[in-house]
Amino acid sequence: MELKQYMEMGQMDELGRKDSPVHRLDARAQLVTTFAFILVVMSYSRYEVAALMPLLIYPVILMIMGGVPPGFLLRKIVIATPFALFVGVFNPFLDHQVVGRMGAYPLTGGWLSFVSIMLRFVLTVSAAVILVACTGIHRLCAGGERMGMPRVFVVQMMFLYRYFFVIGDEGLRVVRGVEMRSAGARPLGLRMYGILIGQLLLRAMDRAQRIYRAMVARGFEGEVRVLHQARWGWHETVFVVGWVAFFMGARLWNVSLLLGHRITGGVG
């Protein structure tokens, strides 16, 4: 079914079960590195664009080493793009200050800040998606709990992730039922969509309750358990220290500007 393929239900879990150098790392190392990466990305000023470009190395390398399909990552970014567009789309109309030139055309601060927002959005979202895809929700939650996150928060995060799959599966059933009963009839009205959404929520909540009762019957006590608990070793230390050093170096020195001066200086 095309809708099911579009939603890509379960593919994130399948990616999390892969065996790669990134998957074998302790979840805490990936959490710390991703958190440091997001902090560094968000610390740039609103007019920074070229300085952010070297940070693309981090998600690209992890995507390659972790075996995350580029198309899958791109689709996840596209789904969340409207939120970033809503934040920065008005900047070109509000900030008309000229901060540079592109050939014969003036470059205003509004357009520069808009591009900066979109670039930071791509960097942070791709890093978060790769984190989940290369760790898996269970290992990610277990790693967060071992780092000191409250168990209630960890369990709620895991249930929220699982609830998306429940409501998605129920949504596919509703859509399938509507398609089988409509047989090419005229499109549904807004009133009918409201009824379907209400039915979807009720069915998803009822199924979630059944799943929870089944988990309790099998001994679930609110603790996140994983089959293979990774341990912190020298691989994790090298991974965290190396990437954090790269992030800080990229933040302190504008690598793109330095390379541009070196190339233009060499040409000249």
Domain residues of the chain, as ranges?
A: 1-135+230-260, 150-225
pLDDT at residue 20, rounded to an integer: 87
Q: For residue 22, count CB atoms less than 10 angstroms from its CB and return exposed for 0-12, middle for 13-18, buried for 19 or more.
A: buried
Which pLDDT belongs to residue 39?
Answer: 94
The token pair at 52 is 């952010």
What is the pLDDT at residue 148?
Answer: 82
Q: What would the two tokens of residue 59 be?
A: 């998600």
The CA-CA-CA angle for residues 95, 97, 100, to 5°, reads 125
pLDDT-flagged residues of the chain (< 50): 1-6, 266-268
Residue pair 229/141 in contact by the 8 Å Cβ criterion: no
Per-residue pLDDT, 190: 67
Burial of 175 from C-beta contacts in 10 A (0-12 / 13-18 / 19+)? middle
Question: Which pLDDT belongs to residue 4?
Answer: 47
Q: Which residues contact 68 (CB under 8 A, 6 or more apart)?
A: 15, 62, 129, 130, 133, 134
* pLDDT in the model for residue 268: 43
- Dihedral (CA of 126, 130, 133, 136) sign: negative
